[in-house]
């Protein structure tokens, strides 16, 4: 991939000056258009070899464009806070909103390349990371983002000369350290690893642009012109990429599904409930105080029919936890800030660090439930959301986050009874709205969406637990019992000195 970046590209001073004036004016114009329509975000990755001009190029773009609508994110080794969360967490938090350009100096490519060069991961693991990145970037593009990826290339001799030139100039000498010279020794290895990784991630929706980094003027003009051309074309086209997705096909020939087979008559007497509640709350309290939990995190995701009892179940979990250890995130319609980002952004930023618990009252599944049924997003959006949600949960699982998902199911008759009761109780009247009554008219459509959701997103590491919730006592105990059993299995499966790790079994069904 690097042949065209080893030809000795150069731009003379006169030609450079003549081109820059028009280019700057055009870039400012398209940047204003981008900000005013606020339909797409722009993600620019600046990567490449040491001394190839990454920092200089970012500085030039800041000089040519309006810095108010630019942001630069520089990433090096993860901080302690970042290490305690999934690897992609810090990049999700840094994504630019619609209407802005975010430039990443160092990105989600840096760590896999470094780890492969140092022998910390195999080629197979590197390819798996490439696949993960491709899916992430496809999601960004499908959400409307323009993703530009630049790799600045130098020959081995060119890199050596570049470092010498930087080291000899008083203004830039500080930028060249012993670490840079040591990295020069790994040039051949970097070429091999980077070349392979770039080929694996050179996708139609986010291709790599390899730029020769020897000549500053050539490099700056090339990047500026590519940014202008791609932005102009993107703003002239549709806001979102319409990636092909297979239509939903579902036939329940015998009328049976995962919801119809639930026994909603299951109940627990008050006395038995009190005993079981105390037992499982005590068990949960002990598990989250277990020393092994300090290296894990817990996410509890609650979905269910309106008035199914999510809030009551969440309060029973919270009663067993230290308030400093957990956070409940209620999810409603997205804010303006959240609508300017990919739909999973608002959930990524609430992923807990190690030793902590995050409880979601409504979740990222809104896209395949209410947004699907109510038509708040396109069919393309909710169809691709299944795989994007699975990726999200897979990344949490890989980072040691234990994910439990509960669907609370009640009958239509029980929901009606609870709605009517809420209207009569003063402190519960706020919990019933006209929207709740309206949603009852779409009961069958929601039931279909729920079955599709369970079928497509109940995975081995993040299974759905379907809870028979007509009886609140039974539902609360089942949730606490499932939570404790899963948490206990996960902690027991963690490796200890001299012990072979066991495979955790899911407590959900």
Residues whose CB is less than 8 angstroms from the CB of residue 195 and which lie 6 or more positions away in sequence, other chains included: 1, 2
Nearest to 44 by CA among 195, 240, 224: 224
Nearest to 413 by CA among 255, 305, 338: 305
Strand partners, 210: 151
Tokens of 171: 């203004």
Tokens of 404: 């439990």
Give the pLDDT score at 188: 87
CA atoms within 13 A on the CB side of 160: 6
Polymer length in residues for the chain = 509
Average of per-residue pLDDT across 435-459: 91
pLDDT band at 503 (very low <50, low <70, confident <90, very high): very low
Nearest to 487 by CA among 289, 272, 275, 278: 289
Single pTM value for the model = 0.88
Tokens of 383: 């169809």
Does the pLDDT at position 499 exceed 60? no
Give the pLDDT score at 400: 96
Average of per-residue pLDDT across 380-389: 95
Three-class SS of 96-154? CCCCCEEEEECCCCHHHHHHHHCCCCCHHHHHHHHHHHHHHHHHHHHCCCEEEEEEEEC
Tokens of 63: 């000089």
Question: Distance between alpha carbon 182 and the CA centroid of its chain, in Å?
Answer: 34
Does the pLDDT at position 224 exceed 70? yes
Phi, psi of 308 (to 5 degrees): -80, -10
Residues whose CB is less than 8 angstroms from the CB of residue 114 and which lie 6 or more positions away in sequence, other chains included: none
3-class DSSP state of 300: strand
CA–CA separation, 448 and 453 (whole Å): 9
Average of per-residue pLDDT across 463-470: 98
- pLDDT digit string, tens, across residues 104-122: 998 999 999 999 999 999 9
Give the pLDDT score at 506: 40
Average of per-residue pLDDT across 351-362: 98
- pLDDT digit string, tens, across residues 309-329: 999 999 999 999 999 999 999
Does the pLDDT at position 455 exceed 70? yes
Which DSSP helix (H) or strand (E) runs through 59? Answer: helix 54-64
- pLDDT digit string, tens, across residues 397-439: 999 999 999 999 999 999 999 998 888 776 666 667 777 777 7
Does the pLDDT at position 127 exceed 80? yes
User: Which structural domains are found in the chain, ordered by start?
Assistant: 3-236 (3.40.50.300), 270-492 (3.40.50.300)
- pLDDT digit string, tens, across residues 45-97: 999 988 888 999 999 999 999 999 999 999 988 999 999 999 999 999 999 99
pLDDT band at 242 (very low <50, low <70, confident <90, very high): low
In this structure, what DSSP letter does residue 502 have? Answer: P
Which DSSP helix (H) or strand (E) runs through 227? Answer: helix 216-236
Does the pLDDT at position 243 exceed 70? no
CA–CA separation, 306 and 417 (whole Å): 12
What is the edge-to-edge ordering of all strands in the sheet holding 464-468? 326-330, 357-361, 297-304, 401-409, 464-468
Output the average pLDDT for the chain.
91
Give the pLDDT score at 108: 96
């Amino acid at each position: 991939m690097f042949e065209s970046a080893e030809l000795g590209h150069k731009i003379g001073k006169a030609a450079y000056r003549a081109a820059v004036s028009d280019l700057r004016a055009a870039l400012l114009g398209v940047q204003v258009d981008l900000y005013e329509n606020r339909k797409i975000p722009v993600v620019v990755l600046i990567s490449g070899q040491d001394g190839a001009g990454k920092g200089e190029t970012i500085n030039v773009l800041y000089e040519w464009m309006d810095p108010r609508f630019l942001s630069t994110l520089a990433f090096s080794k993860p901080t302690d806070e970042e290490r305690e969360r999934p690897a992609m967490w810090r990049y999700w938090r840094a994504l630019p909103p619609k209407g802005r350009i975010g430039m990443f100096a160092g990105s989600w490519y840096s760590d896999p390349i470094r780890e492969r060069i140092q022998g910390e991961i195999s080629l197979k693991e590197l390819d798996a990371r490439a696949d993960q990145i491709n899916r992430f970037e496809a999601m960004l593009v499908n959400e409307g983002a323009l993703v530009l990826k630049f790799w600045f290339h130098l020959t081995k001799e060119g890199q050596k000369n570049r470092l010498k030139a930087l080291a000899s100039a008083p203004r830039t000498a500080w930028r060249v350290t012993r670490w840079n010279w040591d990295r020069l020794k790994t040039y051949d290895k970097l070429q091999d690893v980077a070349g392979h990784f770039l080929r694996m991630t050179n996708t139609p929706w986010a291709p790599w642009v390899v730029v020769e980094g020897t000549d500053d003027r050539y490099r700056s003009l090339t990047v500026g012109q590519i940014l202008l051309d791609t932005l102009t074309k993107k703003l002239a086209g549709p806001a979102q990429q319409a990636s092909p997705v297979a239509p939903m096909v579902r036939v329940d020939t015998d009328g049976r599904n995962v919801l119809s087979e639930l026994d909603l008559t299951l109940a627990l007497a008050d006395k038995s409930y009190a005993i079981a509640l105390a037992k499982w709350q005590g068990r949960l309290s002990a598990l989250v105080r277990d020393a092994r939990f300090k290296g894990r995190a817990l996410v509890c995701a609650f979905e269910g029919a309106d008035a199914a009892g999510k809030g009551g179940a969440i309060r029973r979990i919270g009663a067993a936890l230290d308030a400093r250890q957990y956070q409940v995130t209620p999810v409603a319609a997205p804010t303006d800030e959240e609508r300017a980002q990919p739909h999973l952004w608002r959930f990524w930023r609430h992923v807990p660090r190690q030793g902590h618990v995050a409880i979601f009252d409504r979740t990222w599944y809104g896209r395949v439930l209410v947004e699907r049924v109510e038509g708040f997003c396109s069919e393309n959006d909710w169809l691709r959301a299944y795989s994007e949600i699975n990726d999200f949960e897979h990344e949490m699982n890989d980072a040691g986050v234990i994910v439990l998902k509960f669907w609370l199911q009640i009958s239509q008759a029980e929901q009606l009874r609870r709605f009517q009761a809420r209207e009569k109780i003063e402190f519960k009247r706020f919990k019933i709205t006209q929207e709740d009554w309206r949603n009852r008219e779409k009961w069958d459509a929601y039931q279909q969406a729920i079955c599709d959701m369970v079928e497509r997103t109940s995975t081995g590491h993040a299974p759905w637990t379907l809870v028979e919730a007509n009886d609140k006592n039974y539902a609360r105990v089942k949730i606490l019992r499932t939570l404790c059993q899963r948490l206990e299995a996960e902690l027991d499966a963690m490796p200890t000195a001299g012990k072979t790790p066991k495979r955790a079994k899911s407590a959900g069904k």
